Structure 1
Amino acid sequence: MKTKLAVLAAAVAMLAAPAFAGETLDRVMKTGKLTMSSDPEYPPQSFLNDSNELDGFDVDVGKEIAKRLGVDFGIETPAWEVIIAGGWSGRWDISVGSVTPTKARAQVLSFPAIYYYTPASFAVHTDSSVTSLEELNGKVIGTCGGCTYDAYLLKDLVIDAEGTPPFEYQVTAGELKTYETDTNAFDDLRLGDGVRVDAVFSALPTIQEAIKNGYPMKVIGEPAFYEPLAVATDKGDPEFDAKIAEIVGEMHKDGTLKALSEKWYGVDLTTVQ
């Protein structure tokens, strides 16, 4: 039943999508509002702060894009799988959600601009005796489902963005556990070394933020790969894509993205390291 409902929902989304195709920029300018999809549990990219408001690097980037468009800013929080499925039907206009542009995703989404790069890293519990990536082979590894991290562990990762550094598959999981968000995987690891998972795989800044917030984890080895992260839009409006590319390009050029990266990460992640 669940599978049939999912297929039906996808079909409805595909039928609804053309009503907005090519009209995103017009809609945003007429309504005077840019709505962005975001994840409330992905610090420091996006999270609920002490005032119960969404905050973080991605949120700040989205706000700046809206400001330069001359419109107000709003946020929706759909599930990750819904975002990358495309066919948004105008429910939101843009995803500034640390999306990696892949060939599979490019079938349903457009990626008008890369705004930063992030290293993907493994972490284990602080009680773990693992000290190298080689020792992770055969282990139970947790990561977010539908992300580039589980694609890497399935040895099926394709990142075709220009300037992507080459990488090799260095780890073969004995068992791969996928979660709705990276935080859910971290929660299982914090229960203890090997209790539910032996390691987690995520963006290095996300792991570092979790450690800062008290998660008993430690990073292992060098990053497995560096991924370009792009602003994503629903397919169908090249004028909107061109405008977003222009704005993000200006934010790179005038140092705005660099400043936001240093604010949230302490380093400049807006260029390939």
Structure 2
Amino acid sequence: MKTARFPLILAFAMLLLTVLSGCGKAAPASGGASAPATGGSAPVAKPAPKVVKAALNTVPVPLFSFLDDKNQPAGFIIDYLKELEKKLPEYKFEYEAVDNEGQLIGTDSGKYAFAANFWFKNPEREKKYLYPQQEFGYSITALAVKPDRNDIKTLDDLVGKKLVPMTPVSGFRYILKDYNLKHPGKEIKIEDVEKTTPAEDLKLIESGRYDAHFINVNHFEDAVKKLNLNVKIGGIISKEPVYLLFNKNQTELAQKIDKTTVELIKDGTLPKLSEKWFKIDVYKSLEYVQQGYQFRKDK
């Protein structure tokens, strides 16, 4: 019996030695053999951030997004996106510059996860794209007129006047459509144009061919400064909420950016960026913004 048990014991010992030997080889991978005497485990490598493709405007938009002296993207939107990346390290944004139509088509098809521009919200776009709940900024809209015109300060004053034509994708068109629905019989006439620029539109005002032009204040100030145009702001009309535009399948990304945007507004980051680029906090009331731009005009 003793000679019968010896091979069994020897076999068990060899098996145990094999198991222990295997554990010893596995130890370095888990930090066992090479771990510090304190017994701590090796740090787990962080996963690489997910690359998210986003569309930017190919045409420079003054103060919003443009290329700086070093040919690098700059502006309010760019700073906003950088703050998002700080708060959301699991993502890395990669940008491609395309025109407005290209941004919409590319986002709808899924080529881009989102389009980073000053997008207004309207029913047609809501059917095709995903909007976050929180706007990230505001477009300050105004009426540009000749210096001797003091009769056009509000949308009511546009009834019966000639307004500079608009492109089909202009966000201002929906503001005017909404006004017309609320004022039957006193509609503002909207003419169409295929393509245009703020400078070309303001020249139409300066020439007297049209009575007024509906325009973003920053576009106005940029064009007037560059071309020394003889036009003025007749009145600040509204501060329109603007959004990033997401592909319908980017629900998780949109929700995370939505939550982060709220945080960036509450902690003062976005208001500070607004003052940096626009010289005014657009997150405050319309009355405050109107007074601020009036003060700048008077100076």
Tell me the TM-score normalized by structure 2: 0.66
Match of 1:186, SS state, is helix
Q: In 2 relative to 1, CA 205–189 (structure 1 residues): closer, same or farther, beyond 3 Å?
A: closer
Partner in structure 2 of residue 176 of structure 1 = 191
Quick one: distance in 2 between partners of 1:31 and 1:85? 26
Q: In 2 relative to 1, CA 199–49 (structure 1 residues): closer, same or farther, beyond 3 Å?
A: farther
Partner in structure 2 of residue 199 of structure 1 = 212
CA contact (8 A) 1:143 1:202 kept: no
One-letter code aligned to 1:80: N
Partner in structure 2 of residue 150 of structure 1 = 173
**1:213 is matched with which residue: 226, 233, 251?**
226
Quick one: distance in 1 between partners of 2:87 and 2:194? 35
Confirm or deny that 1:106 pairs with 2:126: yes
Match of 1:118, SS state, is strand
Partner in structure 2 of residue 33 of structure 1 = 51
Give 1:228 shift.
0.9
Q: In 2 relative to 1, CA 136–55 (structure 1 residues): closer, same or farther, beyond 3 Å?
A: farther
CA contact (8 A) 1:118 1:226 kept: yes
Q: Give deviations 1:133-172, integer Å, cap 9, x for gaps.
A: 42673314144431221233445789xxxxxxxx979872
**1:93 is matched with which residue: 98, 107, 113?**
113
Partner in structure 2 of residue 141 of structure 1 = 164
One-letter code aligned to 1:83: Q
CA contact (8 A) 2:114 2:245 kept: yes
**1:190 is matched with which residue: 176, 185, 203?**
203
**Unmatched segments (≥5 aa) in structure 1:** 1-28, 159-166
Quick one: distance in 2 between partners of 1:63 and 1:196? 43
Quick one: distance in 2 between partners of 1:144 and 1:60? 28
Structure 1 vs Structure 2 CA RMSD: 3.1
CA contact (8 A) 1:131 1:221 kept: no
**1:115 is matched with which residue: 125, 136, 144?**
136
Match of 1:229, SS state, is strand
One-letter code aligned to 2:113: D
**Unmatched segments (≥5 aa) in structure 2:** 1-46, 287-299
Partner in structure 1 of residue 289 of structure 2 = none
CA contact (8 A) 1:117 1:227 kept: yes
Choose between structure 1 and 2 for higher RCO, CA contacts under 8 A separated by at least 6 residues: 1
Percent pairwise identity: 24
CA contact (8 A) 2:115 2:244 kept: yes
Q: Greater helix share, 1 or 2?
A: 2
Partner in structure 2 of residue 83 of structure 1 = 103
Partner in structure 2 of residue 254 of structure 1 = 267
Q: In 2 relative to 1, CA 89–98 (structure 1 residues): closer, same or farther, beyond 3 Å?
A: same
Give 1:103 shift.
1.9
One-letter code aligned to 2:129: L
Confirm or deny that 1:50 pairs with 2:63: no
Quick one: distance in 2 between partners of 1:168 and 1:208? 30
Length, aligned pairs only: 232
